[in-house]
Amino acid sequence: MKIIKTSILALFFLLPFVVADLRVNFYTATCPRAESIIRQLVQKRFATDSSITGALLRMHFHDCFVRGCDASILIDSTKNKSSEKSAGPNLTVRGYELIDEIKKNLEAACPSTVSCADIVTLATRDSVVLAGGPNYAAPTGRRDGLVSNPDDVNLPGPSFSVSQALRSFTAKGMTLNDMVTLLGAHTVGFAHCNFFQDRLSNFQGSGSPDPSMDPALVSKLSTLCAASNNPTTFLDQNTSSTFDNQFYNQILFKRGVLQIDQELASDTSTAGIVSGFASNGVRFSQSFASAMLKMGSLHVLVGNAGEIRKNCRAFNPAKSKN
């Protein structure tokens, strides 16, 4: 029965449609192998590193929630100009080398055609599918941005309350349901100890661990974080490498690693959504696909706006006016 449901779900999200000025199969005429090239390279990476799904989801979110989905997060800082990569929340974002590899292969097949913004979007979708998540048709046609400024990076933090996080989401046109859904990406996520260590011993200056965290998890994470190299742990302590709804079940059992994750289960505005997703994986998958499509269309550049970068890490050289 589960296989039948998954097949129906995949078929539902493969139906073509248009979001804003983006469209499914945008590159059919100009670079027909674009999506298959991206998919093959993501499959190759996933085969040796399944954590790439969480890395790409984080990269995609951190890109779209700043200036829109314009690949501004991919720009390297130079000695004269810092980029979004140098902002605190982005220092532990990873997966850039996979985007570089994909871009190199696409440039060989179809020079100056496929945007870095679309590469991030499609690679993220493909990695979610490989981890067991929903397969949805992702509209393309984004252009790459011309600005990358660390001062623009203002993302909801791991210690935010639900109301604080919601303000960040509603400012982008996202709903409460979208927020709870997208945080469900933590089912394949991971975090460094510095993002949650305050919950383990001196929560909010109390001198004690966060009472909303399962004591067994406190003990486990305290041992892990005693190391000096700021190690990481999975945010879903059950099915860590599988994209499913178990993250919601974990936070119902007080096993949320990040404060914002755990508060989703206790805040009256979100507890019902959490319970619904915890008991119905298909509902979560449907909601996740919809929320990803919505996020992927935030403030996109289309038409002649922006550019198609030849190197995702750098803006194209200015064209001579002579």
pLDDT, one tens digit per residue, over 40-85 is: 999 999 999 999 999 999 999 999 999 999 999 999 999 999 999 9
Specify which residues 301 forms β-bridges with.
Answer: 143
Confidence bin at 16 (pLDDT 50/70/90)? very low
Chain centroid to Cα 195, Å, comes to 17
The CA distance from 63 to 69, in Å, is 6
pLDDT band of 6, cuts 50, 70, 90: very low
Q: Which pLDDT value is given to residue 228?
A: 84
Domains of the chain with CATH codes: 33-152 (1.10.520.10), 162-296 (1.10.420.10)
What integer pLDDT is reported at residue 116 of this predicted model?
98
Would you state the pLDDT for residue 19? Answer: 52
Give yes or no for residue 15 having a pLDDT over 50.
Answer: no
Kindly report the average pLDDT of the chain as a whole number.
92
192 neighbors 234 (Cβ within 8 angstroms): no
Phi-psi region of 154 (alpha: psi -120 to 50; beta: other; left: phi over 0): beta
Is a pLDDT exceeding 90 seen at residue 8?
no
Extract the annotated binding site for Ca(2+).
Answer: 63, 66, 68, 70, 72, 84, 187, 236, 239, 244
**Average confidence (pLDDT) over 146-161:** 95
Annotated binding residues for substrate, written as ranges, equal 156
- pLDDT category at 20 given cuts 50, 70, 90 is low
For residue 321, is pLDDT > 50? no
Nearest to 294 by CA among 123, 178, 170: 178
Closest CA to 102 of 85, 117, 129, 123: 123
Alpha-carbon span 182 to 189, nearest angstrom: 11
In whole angstroms, what is the distance from residue 57 CA to residue 181 CA?
Answer: 13
Indicate whether 5 pLDDT > 90. no
**Kind of pairing between the strands at 190-192 and 232-234:** antiparallel
The binding site for heme b consists of: 186
Across the range 24-37, mean pLDDT stands at 97
Binding residues: 63, 66, 68, 70, 72, 84, 156, 186-187, 236, 239, 244
Q: What is residue 81's three-state secondary structure? A: coil
DSSP structure class, residue 175: -
Whether the pLDDT of residue 17 is over 80: the answer is: no
Mean pLDDT value of segment 242-254:
97
Which range among 11-25, 260-274, 280-294 shows the weakest confidence by mean pLDDT? 11-25
Cα 64 from Cα 58, distance rounded (Å): 10
Which residues are catalytically annotated?
A: 62
CB atoms < 10 A from the CB of 276, how many? 16
Question: How high is the pLDDT of residue 74?
Answer: 98
